Structure 1
Amino acid sequence: MGRSISKWSLLVLVSTAVFLSVIDIFVVNVAIPSIKIGIKGTDTDMQWVIVLYVLGYASFLIAGGRAGDYFGKKPVFIIGMAAFTLSSFLCGLAQNTIQLNIGRTIQGISAAFMVPQGISYIQVLFQDQKSRTKALGIYGSIAGAASVIGQFLGGVLPEIHSFIDGWRLLFLINVPIGIVAIFLSIKYLENTAIVRTQKFDSLGAALLVLTLACFIYPIVQGRELGWPLWIFALFGLSLLISLLFFWQQRIRQNKGKLTLIDIRIFKHRDFTVGLFASIFYFMVQDSYFLINVVLLQTGFGISSFNTGLYFVFQGVGYVIASLVSIRLIPLYGKFVLIFGVILMIVSLLFHIFLLDGSVTARPFFPVIFFVYGIGCGTVLPSLLTVSLRSLPSSLAGMASGTYSTFQQTAIALGVGIVGGIFFYNLKDPDRNVETYLEAYRAATILNIVLLLIVSVFLFFISHRNEKLSPKAN
């Protein structure tokens, strides 16, 4: 069917994918204590609520991008959106943690298929560089707005007590948005050319999923199981499968066949160093929300609503800094990112000293969350850019997908390790405020160490001052 609405309206339509995928991360991050109470889950169950979403996303992200080329972007986008909408409905009706986490896994997998199509449509809809840059800016703004809205709703919705538990609304609000997006996509989106010159790498996709599953499962579940020997065997198995995966990818590449990951990207030093920096950074990203939300709501007894408001300050700081930092990167390069990491570290030190359970310290909470958001907004939007800029354009798309896969895996890893240390220190059934504070300090110190590692990796990225001289202008 011919397009009968403007390309800017279509941009908003395809951006619903990233809006829903991002908002679903942040509403859960803020509302995790309410979900735990409502579903009668354990601390480990709540880690899985976060981990399974990002693990499903990471495992199928590259395959999701390839599927759009192989089957057409329109059907993959619609099917992904439909699966996300249905799984959100199932999460909202879940009666136990097994049902909830099955729904969360499907949510993550479906997001991995719908989000890459939205990004790809921008390349199709906006052919010239100027309009494409503007479109990508709007797309990024929608994702940023989703993070702030998600943090607010994560605080507000669990406070609603009506015919349905408020925490269920966290998932059910996706349903009407998804239905409208599906209807409009069927009516207005045009399909793209189908590229089936080579067979899809299904074996590589399976090996990647097995690698991530065998690696993340023992990290999250090992603490609750008492670290039996078979848990450590899974770590070894994940290493063997990962080696098999990269070997299989190299063979396919040497034969000229389609691969999930182009091994050549790892020969570029700045990309590899930037990738390691991003891994340690994203280990902090969601674990920060997890331990702070549990401390505030469960440890201090602060309401879900007020907790959400505190994190809105963090989101506002992020948005402001992201708008400023993207203008500074061409002038000062990696040093902008290093400054942002240092600001995050300083903020976390103030977190440790000010989040002490006393009522007198609470007026300072918005300030420290805002400053932390400023640090995040300085680092996150440009971390990928700094990592990719030394790559030839022919490898940029592949490298971006690989980067995103490692990013999501690192989030799961951080929730497993940092969250595991936090909950390990809460093993005493007679928990009091001081117990929560000790657990929080231990986990936050680890996050500070991780950020210090990030700053070291960033230092070794090649510095490029891209400021134009007057003559160049």
Structure 2
Amino acid sequence: MISIVQSENNRWWQLWIVSAAAFLSVIDIFIVNVALPSIQAGLHSTEADLQLVIAAYLIGYAAFLITGGRLGDYLGKKRVFVAGMISFTVMSCCCGLAQTAGQLNSFRFLQGVCAAFMVPQSIAYIHLLFPEHEERIKALGIYGSIAGTASVIGQLLGGLIPDVHFLMDGWRWIFLINLPIGILATWFAVKFLHETPLVSQSRFDVSGVLLLTATLIFLIYPLIRGRELGWPLWAVCMLLAALVMLVLFIRDQRHKGLRNQEPLIDLRLFGFRDFNIGLLAVLFYFMVQDSYFLINAVLLQNGLGFSSSLTGLLFAAQGIGYVVAAVSSIRLVKLYGRKVLMAGVLLMAVTLFLHIKFFQGDVIASSKIYLLLFVYGMGCGSVLPSLLTLSIRSIPPAFAGAASGTYTTFQQTAVALGIGVSGGVFFRLLEGEHSVTAYIHAYHWATWLNIVFLVVTAVLLYFLPKK
């Protein structure tokens, strides 16, 4: 493996610079979750528009993630990192200045594409800057901690900022605050990051990217918009077309693999049983991950009348629970393997059942509610940091990079799918009603669906290697 020879202080300084990519990409997911009702009110958008604010970002991220990594090999990681950071910052400003829901969701898609070019370079830099195993583990731990901290800060700011109206609607600032961070990160990257050697033999699977992007859009968009419009013919046709394009994508990838043309996704990975089980576990787990925030944010603010700030504080308690559990779960997984993840998933399912019991019409933000969300976060923190590790543990080292890229692509797709499915159930049952009873009824059914997804996840985890 190529490494970059650096002084001790310099490489740790570069770690903090590239970690800005993780911070911005994660915070922009979580900061939006809490602010969704404020965005809906500010743009007079529909419920489907609300779902697309999250899903559009994830589709762009998922479709271009693997290509983003290869572009860094071909053009140089510093060049792509800086271009990605600048573009991400510009798209963030465009999101903040959007005048319609259509504009916002278009910019969110492009913001996700920019993140897909920015984030892979940061991870690659860690492997180049820290070739020694122990130091690399430490560096990845710092990188992961920054991402975890971003999730907590994002949930807190996503609640607080929309309540602050300065020059414009408060929700716009959740995007515009990326401007100073992006400018600083870009300046430090230009000044201190060292360019990496080029890998001229890297190839781009253009047709693969186009087919995957089209498949995701044709799958997710009608699931979200079709429900709102009563399933018109075009929505059904798009779903059928998504199935056809998925088949074409698989055939395209298999054909390129046989001809050694570097396909976007190496289909040989699906010959490994544990990897397939891991991907199914990822599918069901991540369908819950962000749909949880969507339906809870809408219930608490639009249904139960909580302020944006109070909702942000509640979600911050969940984020703190995640960080606390994530720190200890990595060590526990080394001792107890999949049991830790199964326990975390079941803890999430139990606490979701308690959500149903506690979130009634007379709920107040008591210490019990904060504790409930904290414990739910601990369940998440017990699963997420080690799910990738268990899923690709039996993969030969030669396939590790491809497996990681495929896993992350599948992860982001699953989150977007969950927004469409669980979020779709919630809004379908709401049917435009705005009474507390209607919100609670819709919330209960959507949460029961998420509980089922978590139970399926626990069963799948049981079939992964014990340690």
Q: Name the TM-score class by shorter chain.
A: over 0.9
Structure 1: distance between partners of 2:303 and 2:86: 38
Residue 274 (str. 1) matches residue 278 (str. 2)? yes
Alpha-carbon contact 2:70-2:202 (below 8 Å) kept:
no
Which residue does 1:312 correspond to in 2?
316
Which residue does 1:134 correspond to in 2?
138
Q: CA-to-partner distance for each residue in 1:220-242, whole Å, 9 max, x for gaps?
A: 11111211233222222111211
Which residue does 1:110 correspond to in 2?
114
Identify if the C-alpha distance between structure 1 residues 360 and 156 changes in structure 2 by more than 3 Å, giving closer, same or farther: closer
Alpha-carbon contact 2:73-2:202 (below 8 Å) kept:
no
Q: CA-to-partner distance for each residue in 1:105-142, whole Å, 9 max, x for gaps?
A: 11100000000000000011111111111100000000
Which residue does 1:32 correspond to in 2?
36
Flag structure 1 segments of 5+ consecutive residues without an equivalent: 465-473
Aligned length: 463
Q: Partner of 1:6: helix, strand, or coil? A: helix
Tell me which of 187, 190, 199 is aligned to 2:191: 187
Give 2:451's aligned amino acid: I
Structure 1: distance between partners of 2:459 and 2:192: 48
Q: Partner of 2:430: helix, strand, or coil? A: coil
TM-score (norm 2): 0.97
Which residue does 2:452 correspond to in 1?
449
The structural deviation recorded for 1:361 is 7.0
Flag structure 2 segments of 5+ consecutive residues without an equivalent: none
Structure 1: distance between partners of 2:89 and 2:327: 31
Q: CA-to-partner distance for each residue in 1:366-425, whole Å, 9 max, x for gaps?
A: 011011001100111111111011111111111011000010001000001111111111
Structure 1: distance between partners of 2:204 and 2:156: 41
Structure 1: distance between partners of 2:245 and 2:432: 37
Alpha-carbon contact 1:354-1:361 (below 8 Å) kept:
no
The structural deviation recorded for 1:82 is 0.8
Residue 149 (str. 1) matches residue 150 (str. 2)? no
Which residue does 2:168 correspond to in 1?
164
Structure 2: distance between partners of 1:53 and 1:260: 20
Residue 64 (str. 1) matches residue 64 (str. 2)? no
The structural deviation recorded for 1:101 is 1.2
Identify if the C-alpha distance between structure 1 residues 318 and 198 changes in structure 2 by more than 3 Å, giving closer, same or farther: closer
The structural deviation recorded for 1:198 is 4.8
Tell me which of 445, 450, 458 is aligned to 2:461: 458
Query: Aligned-pair RMSD on alpha carbons?
Result: 1.5
Alignment of 1:236-247 (within 5 A): 236-247=240-251
Identify if the C-alpha distance between structure 1 residues 198 and 344 changes in structure 2 by more than 3 Å, giving closer, same or farther: closer
Alignment of 1:23-422 (within 5 A): 23-359=27-363, 362-422=366-426
- Of 258-267 and 371-380, more deviation after overlay is shown by 258-267
Identify if the C-alpha distance between structure 1 residues 226 and 113 changes in structure 2 by more than 3 Å, giving closer, same or farther: same
Which consecutive segments of 4 or more residues in structure 1 shift more than 2 A?
Answer: 2-5, 359-363
Give 2:152's aligned amino acid: V
Alpha-carbon contact 1:198-1:257 (below 8 Å) kept:
no
The structural deviation recorded for 1:195 is 1.3
Which residue does 1:467 correspond to in 2?
none
Q: CA-to-partner distance for each residue in 1:253-292, whole Å, 9 max, x for gaps?
A: 1112212111111111111101100111000000000000
Structure 2: distance between partners of 1:102 and 1:158: 21
Percent identity over paired residues: 55
Alpha-carbon contact 1:85-1:178 (below 8 Å) kept:
yes
Which residue does 1:13 correspond to in 2?
17
Alpha-carbon contact 1:60-1:112 (below 8 Å) kept:
yes
TM-score (norm 1): 0.96
Structure 2: distance between partners of 1:362 and 1:443: 23
